[in-house]
Structure 1
Amino acid sequence: MANSRYEYVKSFEAHDALLPSTWIVIRIDGCHFHRFSDVHEFEKPNDENALKLMNSCALAMFEQFPDIVFAYGVSDEYSFVLKKSSKFYERRSRKSCIDGEVWQFKSHSPLPETHGSVNLSRVMQDVENGHINNQYNTCFWMLVDSGKSKREAQDILKGTQTSEKNELLYEKFGINYNMIPAIFRKGSCIYREMVDEIVKYNEAGTPIRRPRKKVVLDHCDIIGPEFWNEHPTILLDK
């Protein structure tokens, strides 16, 4: 449209800039993911290969967009936190979407939906929901695999608490939920961590180091203060 007779249309665009000096959280969510996972026969409740594919795409996002300081992924969702000083797309809420070409998962599924937010708690909410949903789904699919119908499995799990689901898994299927791989229980988080990199050795053989930021993929608890106390540079906005 640029430099064309239709360029006047831009004058009708609303000024929808997000608040300055606030975190921007962009959430990418799978479109029709249940159908997609059925068609490709994903393992239930978690398909490790699909999760690893999403993680590799998210790592590529970090390389493409330096304003991203943190990301959290669970199930078919990924949330990306942009630093408070980011000028990404001039902080326009309707433009705050990640380039679909970088989100490589689109070549394996329908294009994901994206939207912007300025609430950092969105990521925390995803963490909590991810744990609750994964525990429920683990119980649900174990019951279905054992011969229960989906409706029967839903009725059995209706109103159950965390401890009751853990007990069901252990007593009926011998599964200790806390021993399930962390990538399933806790999701995936990506951030940059300062490390000392060896750049060369001097004549005496002593390594000469320089600090640099390394992109890290981890599966850990980020709800409590422990993680953030151990990684204080993530949200320094530098």
Structure 2
Amino acid sequence: MTGAGARRAAARRTAVTFVLNLRRQAAAGYWFVALLAGLAVGAVLLALTGDPLRWWPVVVLSELTITSFYFAAVQVLRERGEGILAAQAITPLGPGEYLTALAGSLCLLALAEVGALVLVAHGAAVRWPVLAIGVVLVSSLYVLYGVIVVVGYETIGAFLLPSGVWTLILGVPLLPLLGVLDGWWLWCHPLQPAVVLIEIAFGARPAGAAVPCVLLGATWCALLFLAARVRLVRAVTPRSVAL
């Protein structure tokens, strides 16, 4: 198969897996849980006096902790427990294609959830393209981080107990909003570019910072993608059988 043919085949496999993920997530109630979480947060925001612009990064990261980090982790554990990942190890589907389809499906859910929440609690006066990029970065990083973390556990129960510690690491870029710590070192955290993009979307930061944030955020996504791929292959094929 030529290079172009191989790329087309990989794209088809990724697209099919993406659609299957959407169906499995809908059947498992992921979209329903996201709707409930969004409604609950929206009700709280609407009850606040004034428009809490500075808190939108907290809102987005908190929402996506559930619908990206936990959803990805639970799906990987379920598929490993059901033997789906082991079965895929002997198919042409590659680990990168699997991760792309998983992240893509949960990014779609994240965009729908955050978009609806912003419209209800804030309105349409937002830099939507910047917000969308920020949400995609947050969701992708959460999904990849979830895969990296969860493959070290055998069951959902074993993962949930220490998962609070893992999620605390995700919240480091939010510390300045709480009046705790600040400085250049925050840019060493993968989520910092996405947090700044969300602030830009709501007018809390100048738009000129968007391009560097997108580039740095994409770099972090690529690095975590490579790490997640290695972790996934080792977890599913401990005897060095290619996924």
TM-score of the aligned structures, taking structure 2 as reference length: 0.30
Which one has the bigger helix percentage? 2
| Larger RCO: 1 or 2 (CA < 8 Å, sep 6+) | 2
Larger radius of gyration: 1
TM-score of the aligned structures, taking structure 1 as reference length: 0.30
